[in-house]
Amino acid sequence: MRFVYFTHSLVSDWNHGNAHFLRGVIRELTARGHQVQVFEPRNGWSLQNLIADQGAEAVARFAAVFPGFGSTSYDPATLDLDRALDGADVVIVHEWNDHDLVANIGRKRAAGGRFQLLFHDTHHRSVTDPKSMAAYDLTAYDGVLAYGAVIREIYLSMGWGRRAWTWHEAADTALFRPLPGRPREGDLVWVGNWGDGERSIELGEFLLLPIRQLKLKARIHGVRYPADAKAAIALAGAEYAGYLPNHEAPEAFARFPVTVHVPRRPYVETLRGIPTIRPFEALACGIPLVCSPWDDAEGLFRPGSDYLIARDGTEMTKHLRDVLNDLDLAASLARSGYETIQSRHTCGHRVDELLEICRGLKQERPLLQEAR
């Protein structure tokens, strides 16, 4: 089949986590003989920030690391949708796209397009910016791929889409895998962006406070860290190392004995059961993981076996001390988390789910045509 995906960016993962998952899905689809063409807006926000932060050579590095993963950049004002959609069997449109583009693709489908059309939501805007999400015209879309059951229910209850499926993100295990034998460079590594203040208090309690209390040699990677956040990192005695290309995260995980996951507030308070992609990637690399509180409402993992949960900063400090000093505990967590990813949460599993959705839609269409 020919898949066409409209994303914010495939080339840039600067504050753009969906690029991680999309790359893994492309890898898996093409390995199975499918064709995938990706479209991204020229000079998109993430790409502009990547180049400003890392220089134009960052784009060349992507091409070198992901050969054959090219995308077609376009000017929204001149994009030829008929040409872009020609021959497509399945079209997927990510939610970080312009409202007009989403609507125009829907109109092409309504005007006789024979492709299946899906909207892909991988963010918390359904609860933090519902007005913007409600403005998307999904009338002609076959449905929504929502990266959590709670987001799926929001779309259905609000009437934003005719149907929706839960399609969690997952680890690209061709890239995210254990790398044994790497020299140790410290005690703890954190890979995550600061964002818009959705977890600044939590990062202080569950990341910086334990680092300071245990006097850990810690390295923190990510972008959008304001001056006060960098000052707090320095005060805790940690190293702020800035942007880390996602493909380099496995190497970073291999050089440290533990990492932590601190979910953004919406995923704790209203979007229960959505881990985001970071825990999938960490567990796939076989690094012990300790999480601040979040509810695995969908039973994706085995809390206590795949990772430890810390109810507060004091317990986070204790868990980190235990993992760093108990080799058997660390090995058990690493082994269990890795096994769960391999058995349930690879991009291969998600492609299986996507193809099953597509098969169902294909079987359904003749019935709809007969009913008419």
List pLDDT tens digits, range 20-48: 999 999 999 999 999 999 999 999 999 99
Q: Under a CB-based contact definition with an 8 Å cutoff, are residues 241 and 295 in contact?
A: no
CA 75, 115, 276, 30 dihedral sign is negative
Say what the pLDDT of residue 263 is: 94
| Predicted pLDDT of residue 366 | 57
Whether pLDDT at 92 is above 50: yes
Segment 232-258 mean pLDDT: 98
Q: Which of 80-84, 348-352, 365-369 has the lowest mean pLDDT?
A: 365-369
Mean pLDDT for 323-348 is 98
Q: What whole-number percentage of the chain has pLDDT above 90?
A: 95
Average per-residue pLDDT for the chain? 96
Structure tokens at 160: 């934003």
| Tally of CB atoms within 10 A around 364 | 12
Nearest C-alpha neighbor of 171 from the set 94, 277, 250: 277
pTM (global) more than 0.85: yes
pLDDT in tens, 251-294: 999 999 999 999 999 999 999 999 999 999 999 999 999 999 99
What is the structure's pLDDT at 370? 43
pLDDT band at 195 (very low <50, low <70, confident <90, very high): confident
Please tell me the predicted confidence (pLDDT) of residue 183: 98
d(CA 255, CA 235): 23
Specify the pLDDT at position 372: 41
What is the Cα–Cα distance from 285 to 288, expressed in whole angstroms?
A: 9
Distance of CA 324 to the CA centre of its chain: 28
The confidence score (pLDDT) of residue 368 equals 46
Query: Confidence band (pLDDT; 50, 70, 90) for 371?
Result: very low
Structure confidence at residue 70 (pLDDT): 85
Give the SS3 label for residue 120: strand
> How far from chain centre, in Å, is Cα 288?
20
Q: How many CB atoms lie within 10 A of CB 310?
A: 22
At 367 the pLDDT is 43
